[in-house]
């Protein structure tokens, strides 16, 4: 069965947010919000959980710290210990001060790049991908809420449209996709 999608377009982020609050209170499920900039406070209203990318960044960072430590221990202590000014590298701990800067830099490098790559993959934003915003104006000054009929089976499409129309919407568009 073809999926019925309703796009409700708003001129203002606060109007959309209030509208979303009202509709969600009536038991309507908002499938998606498209906006030209982050609307603060919309996520809990439409039931979007906070991202866990921060945890990932921490894990990538720790990975960097470990790789840098193991790497430098291997290069500088076990594989080819250097004798500099009669002060040989006997153990990693004896020389750790010299290894702090690179450990730090490598931690940051891994955390930042790991997180950025995960971010792009999770967003499905990669070079050459096709944009899926319903209207080109949603990257300019319009804000769109998407409703799927399959997720709102308690309402008929007329009921849903009537409710949406009470929220200060500027345009409504309907689409059916396979």
Partner 1 sequence: MHKESAIREPLILGHKTYHQITEDVCKPIEDKAPRTWYVLFAIALIIGIYGIGCIMYLLGTGIGVWGLNKTIGWAWDITNFVWWVGIGHAGTLISAVLLLFRQKWRMAINRSAEAMTIFAVFMAGTFPLIHMGRLWLGYWVFPLPNQFGSLWVNFNSPLLWDVFAISTYLSVSLIFWYIGLIPDFATLRDRVKRPIPKKMYSILSFGWSGRAKNWNRFELVSLVLAGVATPLVFSVHSIVSFDFATSVIPGWHTTIFPPYFVAGAVFSGFAMVQTLMLVMRKAMRLEAYIHTRHVEYMNIVIMVTGSIVGVAYLTELFVSWYSGVEYEAYAFINRATGPYWWAYASMMTCNVISPQLMWIPALRRSLYFTFFISIVVNIGMWFERYVIIVSSIHRDYLPSSWSMHYPSHIDIGVYLGTIGLFFVFFLLFARFFPVLPIAELKTILKSSGEYQKNLPDTHHDNSNHH
Round to whole Å and give the CA distance between 65 and 7.
47
Question: Which of positions 144-173 make contact with partner 1 (CB under 8 A)?
Answer: none
Contact between 75 and partner 1 by CB under 8 A: the answer reads yes
Contact between 140 and partner 1 by CB under 8 A: the answer reads yes
Minimum separation from the CB atom of position 89 to partner 1 (A):
8
Residues 176 and 1 sit within 8 Å (Cβ to Cβ) = no
Contact between 18 and partner 1 by CB under 8 A: the answer reads yes
List 7, 10, 99, 147, residue binding partner 1 (CB under 8 A): 99
Contact between 67 and partner 1 by CB under 8 A: the answer reads no
Residues binding partner 1: what is the number (CB under 8 A)? 67
Contact between 177 and partner 1 by CB under 8 A: the answer reads no
């Amino acid at each position: 069965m073809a999926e019925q999608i309703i796009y409700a377009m708003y001129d203002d982020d606060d109007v959309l947010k209030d509208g979303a609050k009202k509709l969600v209170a009536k038991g309507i499920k908002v499938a998606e919000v498209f906006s030209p900039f982050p609307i603060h406070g919309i996520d809990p209203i439409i039931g979007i959980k906070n991202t866990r990318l921060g945890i990932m960044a921490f894990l990538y960072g720790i990975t960097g710290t470990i790789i840098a430590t193991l790497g430098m221990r291997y290069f500088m202590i076990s594989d080819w210990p250097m004798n500099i000014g009669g002060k040989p590298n006997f153990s990693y701990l004896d020389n750790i001060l010299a290894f702090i800067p690179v450990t730090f830099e490598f931690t940051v490098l891994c955390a930042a790049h790991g997180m950025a790559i995960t971010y792009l993959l999770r967003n499905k934003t990669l070079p050459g991908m096709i944009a899926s915003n319903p209207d080109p104006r949603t990257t300019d000054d319009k804000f769109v809420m998407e409703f799927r009929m399959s997720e709102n089976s308690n309402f008929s499409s007329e009921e849903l449209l009537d409710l949406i129309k009470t929220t200060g919407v500027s345009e409504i568009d309907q689409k059916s996709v396979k």
